[in-house]
Amino acid sequence: MKIIGITGTLGAGKGTIVDYLTAHHGFKHFSVRGYLIQIIKATGKEVNRDSLTHTANELRAANSPSFIAEELFKEAEKTGANCIIESIRTVGEVTALKAKGNFKLLSVDTDRRLRYERILLRGSETDQISFETFSANEERELSSNDPNKQNLSACMALADYHFTNNGSFDDLYVQLDQILG
């Protein structure tokens, strides 16, 4: 059983990697975003990037910087199958999951303008924003000294495998197959 986490910049291709691993390699998918959306909807709040970030930060502050990822890791272990946890965003999550010994972290990045164009095409409820808002959101999430807040740059630096996704889907799939081989 393999448990893989994925981190990366906004719109870089985390979901594409998840889709490929689930469809072609039989991985089970666990989503931080999905976990948070359930909590937000249960409180009757609107789901958007701010509410996702705020809820995640609150849960981490109340429990531990690794709380959300560890909850998903427990669920993944119960399956006994290969699993991927999507959207690792704090150093505490990386550290806690790597300490479990059965975990590898992937990171993915892409040119910012290309990522913005991709999120507009994706069209999810949190993606209908201007390039300026997209850039501001990313800057806020790239680094923080608060262990309960997102620090994508540090997480990406701790990854076991790094992918650049400026090409086609097939280019990305070749990179994935090489590390899974």
pLDDT averages per 10-residue partition of the chain, 181 residues: 94 94 97 94 90 91 94 96 95 95 95 92 78 90 86 96 94 93 77
What is d(CA 72, CA 93) in angstroms, rounded to the nearest whole number? Answer: 11
Domain count, the chain: 1
Where is 52: in which H helix or E strand?
Answer: helix 49-62
Partner residues linked to 20 by β-bridges: none
Residue 142, number of CB atoms within 10 A of its CB: 16
CA-wise closest residue to 163 among 12, 1, 3: 12
Tokens describing residue 80: 């006994």
CATH code, 8: 3.40.50.300
What is d(CA 84, CA 3) in angstroms, rounded to the nearest whole number? Answer: 6
pLDDT value of position 97 = 97
Contact 111, 128 (CB under 8 A): no
pLDDT value of position 125 = 67
Residue 116 lies in domain: 3-176
pLDDT value of position 48 = 87
CA-wise closest residue to 69 among 45, 42, 44, 105: 105
pLDDT value of position 29 = 98
181 falls within a domain:
no
Query: Cβ-count burial of 156 within 10 angstroms (0-12 exposed, 13-18 middle, 19+ buried)?
Result: buried
pLDDT value of position 74 = 95
pLDDT value of position 146 = 85
